[in-house]
Amino acid sequence: MSDEIQNDGYDQAIEAIGAGEPYALECPDGHHSMPPRRVCPECGESELEEVDIPTSGELLTYNVTHVPTPDFADDVPFVLGIAEFGGVRLTGRVQADEEEVDIGMPVELGLGESETTERPLITFDLA
């Protein structure tokens, strides 16, 4: 998909996740958010700094998706989750079968790709 239009901010953050060096944006008040951002979504502060976030996190919730959007037609069924890494929460693919997954589990942040479109997507491996 190299001919696809780029999304500044997002693409770089995704690449950093793939390189094992994920980062978020932090405002002077300590709020965290994911790029692209010109201002902090919590307080409107515009001095945003890239700060490292841990690759280890905790799974907060998950589902088992059986009916997908067309971009994930060949991926189902899959486990989708929300996990927290430092001060940031991300949505991503849990790389495990439903039976192995529990809320509160430690997960490792990484990058994989959709089996349908081969586009990059955020992954959570069981630690």
Partner 1 sequence: MSPPHIAGVGMTTFGNVPERTGRDLFAEAGSTAIEDAGIDREDVDALYVGNFMGELSENQGHMGPLMAKAIGLDVPATRVESACASGGMAVRQGVRDVRNGEADVVLVSGVERMHNMGTAGATGGLSVAADDLWEIRQGITFPGAYALMAQRYFEVHGGDREDLAHVAVKNHANAANNPLAQYQSEISVEKVLDAPPVAMPMGLFDSSPITDGAAAALLVSEEYAEENGLDTPVAITGTGQGTDNLALAERDSLVWTPATRDAGQEAYDDAGISVDDVDFLEVHDCFTIAEVLALEGLGFYEEGEGITAARDGETTADGSLPVNLSGGLKAKGHPVGATGVAQITEMTKLFRGDHVNSEAVEDASVGLTHNAGGTVASAVVHVLEVAE
Shortest distance (Å) from residue 99 CB to partner 1: 12
In the chain, the amino acid numbered 30 is G
Shortest distance (Å) from residue 28 CB to partner 1: 19
Q: In this complex, which beta carbon is closest to partner 1, that of residue 42 or of residue 52?
A: 42
Shortest distance (Å) from residue 20 CB to partner 1: 18
18, 55, 68, 92, 120 from 124: Cα distances, Å = 12, 10, 19, 6, 13
What is the CA 82 to chain-centroid distance, rounded?
8
Q: In this complex, which beta carbon is closest to partner 1, that of residue 55 or of residue 65?
A: 65
Q: In this complex, which beta carbon is closest to partner 1, that of residue 64 or of residue 127?
A: 64
Q: How far apart are CA 73 and CA 8, in angstroms?
A: 27
Q: Is 30 left (phi over 0), alpha (psi -120 to 50) or beta?
A: left
Residues within the interface to partner 1 (CB under 8 A): 7, 10, 33-34, 41, 60-73, 75, 77-78, 80-82, 89-93, 98, 103-104, 114, 119-122
